[in-house]
Amino acid sequence: MEPLPRSVPACRDVPIPPVEDLSWRAYQGYDCYACGQPLTTGAVHAGWARGHAGAHVLDTEVWACP
């Protein structure tokens, strides 16, 4: 097996964007917030995307590829 290229950053290392920049699916936790791939098993909890609309807090947890 060849080693993985080191020049490609892991999705989990990508800075978490504000909620406004997430796709609907990423906001729901269905897709990786970094690359947009559908997540299956082993998704990595990346943290929280922050956002609000008026008085409503839209913060959501985001997930990345394993």
Binding site for Zn ion (CB under 5 A): 11, 32, 34-35, 37, 65
Report d(CA 31, CA 37) in Å as an integer.
Answer: 5
CB of residue 39 vs Zn ion: minimum separation in angstroms? 8
Per the CB < 8 A criterion, the answer to whether 48 and 59 are in contact is yes
CB of residue 19 vs Zn ion: minimum separation in angstroms? 18
Residue closer to Zn ion, measured from CB, 35 or 57 = 35
Nearest to 33 by CA among 51, 57, 44: 44
Residue closer to Zn ion, measured from CB, 9 or 56 = 9
